[in-house]
Amino acid sequence: MTYMLEGYTYDYSVGERYSPIAGRTLRQLTLAVPGGGCKYWLKTRGQGCTFCGFPGLTRRLNLGDGRDDYFGGWRLDARIFEGMYRSAIENAEAADKLALFNGGSFFVDGELPPEFRHRFIADASRRPGLVQIMVESRPEYVTPAALDEAAPILGAGRDFADGAFGIGQPVRGNGFAIVEAHQSIAGKTVTVGAGEDVRARSDWLGSAVVSDVPAYTNSTLAVDVADLPVGYSLGAGGFDTHAPHKAGYRLRVGSDYSVSAYGTLLKANGEPVGLLTGTASPVDDPARQVAIFTNAAGRFGAEGLAPGRWTITMATEDTPTVFELTVPEGTDGLFRAGELRPARKG
Ligand code: SF4
């Protein structure tokens, strides 16, 4: 069925198709968007593949009638393609395969904006019901670089829950980064950059996409998240990058270790454990350590904890003093630990 968005025509429908890859019949959501003009067709000034009338059609749809001698391309904004995709994915009946047709080749920047392409892959690959995504392309545009561009977004990346970054997959031009929110802050708006220099922001499609991470140079992506739970710890609040040429990053903001706890440490006789340093470690993972300091009254604050049982070890005279702290399941952001007495000495 045909629809209109901001004066541009697109089409989507759901039907059953046999998939040789899945080995069964799938319910396929087919979305046809008016791409920016098939590169091959433009290059051959309208000769293209003899049977094909699609590029001429998208030219008429996007530019109007009377442009039969124009072969300069007519790519729409990423925003419009995203709107068409959103309309189809949200309004069509449930499907287990998604096919996107743009009247040319999916991986060509002049046909579909890279930012839309990245977000389309990122969103579609995370839809729980979808088992297959299909896009169209002439074979010469399905290059190793194009596939490597898609791989990290599809999920070949590592998990960066602690704020470190990793993975470098070759892509075209400068690197790019997909910045997504950890499940503990799912649905919050992630902003990459600050002030006048906002470089990307997440929206209904999920992740923020930074498409200009410089190669061969140190760079920092500052991140912020709107409406964080009080006390939620974002850790360093940014990612350091040093992208190899043509590299993509998949970064995650937030983590399970996002609880900030505060309370007071007292000795067995009720005196404060004042002006001392120590560490907090999960009972089942002693190697992970969070630094703790107390003031003169024994008050402490610790960032980067998670729900579960923790051991606090303070460097008291002679032998360390050990406290137990339990952060309840479901704690989000700030946890008031109250007064803690020693579990044991040494
Ligand atoms: S590559 Fe596809 S869109 Fe381009 S001319 Fe051939 S069939 Fe048509």
Residue that has been written with the tokens 């980064």 in this structure: 177
Q: Nearest to residue 254, comparing CAs of 269, 272, 232?
A: 232
CA-nearest residue, atom 2 of ligand 1: 104
Per-residue model confidence as pLDDT tens digits over 61-72: 899 999 999 999
Per-residue model confidence as pLDDT tens digits over 114-124: 989 988 988 88
Output the pLDDT for position 132. 86
Is a pLDDT exceeding 60 seen at residue 179? Answer: yes
- Within the chain, residue ranges assigned H as helices are 39-43, 54-63, 78-91, 114-126, 144-151
| CA 202–ligand 1 middle distance (angstroms) | 33
| CA 90–ligand 1 middle distance (angstroms) | 29
**Reported confidence tier of residue 200, pLDDT bands at 50, 70, 90:** confident
24-32 and 8-19 as β-strands: parallel, antiparallel, unpaired? Answer: antiparallel
Per-residue model confidence as pLDDT tens digits over 313-334: 999 988 999 999 999 999 988 9
Q: Decide if 249 contacts 175 (C-beta within 8 A).
A: yes
Ligand 1 site-directed mutation target among 44, 45, 51, 54, most atoms within 8 Å of CB: 54
Two domains, one topology: 156-255 and 259-345: yes
Output the pLDDT for position 164. 25
Give me 226's structure tokens. 């709107």
Distance CA 121, CA 252 (A): 17
Output the pLDDT for position 160. 27
Distance CA 337, CA 44 (A): 71
**Reported confidence tier of residue 340, pLDDT bands at 50, 70, 90:** very high
More confident residue, 273 or 179: 273
Is the CATH number of domain 156-255 3.40.50?
A: no
Superfamily of domain 259-345: Immunoglobulins (2.60.40.10)
Q: Could you tell me if the CB of 138 is within 6 A of ligand 1?
A: yes
Give me 143's structure tokens. 């290059």
| CA 115–ligand 1 middle distance (angstroms) | 23
Q: Decide if 254 contacts 234 (C-beta within 8 A).
A: yes
Q: Could you tell me if the CB of 165 is within 6 A of ligand 1?
A: no
Ligand 1 site-directed mutation target among 39, 138, 141, 142, most atoms within 8 Å of CB: 138
| CA 11–ligand 1 middle distance (angstroms) | 18
- 33-42, 73-82, 118-127, 144-153: which range is least confident on average? 144-153
**Reported confidence tier of residue 129, pLDDT bands at 50, 70, 90:** confident
Domain boundaries, the chain: 1-142, 156-255, 259-345
| CA 89–ligand 1 middle distance (angstroms) | 25
Q: Could you tell me if the CB of 52 is within 6 A of ligand 1?
A: yes
Q: Could you tell me if the CB of 56 is within 6 A of ligand 1?
A: no
Output the pLDDT for position 194. 82
Is a pLDDT exceeding 50 seen at residue 166? Answer: no
Percent of the chain with pLDDT over 90: 53
Distance CA 283, CA 128 (A): 34
> Where are the strands (E) in the chain, listed by range?
2-5, 8-19, 24-32, 97-101, 132-135, 175-181, 190-194, 197-201, 208-213, 218-225, 238-242, 248-253, 259-265, 277-282, 290-293, 299-305, 308-314, 321-327, 334-340, 344-345
| CA 135–ligand 1 middle distance (angstroms) | 13
Q: Could you tell me if the CB of 113 is within 6 A of ligand 1?
A: no
CA distances from 76 to 9, 37, 73, 162, 199 (A): 12, 10, 10, 38, 20
Q: Could you tell me if the CB of 40 is within 6 A of ligand 1?
A: yes
More confident residue, 314 or 166: 314
**Reported confidence tier of residue 267, pLDDT bands at 50, 70, 90:** very high
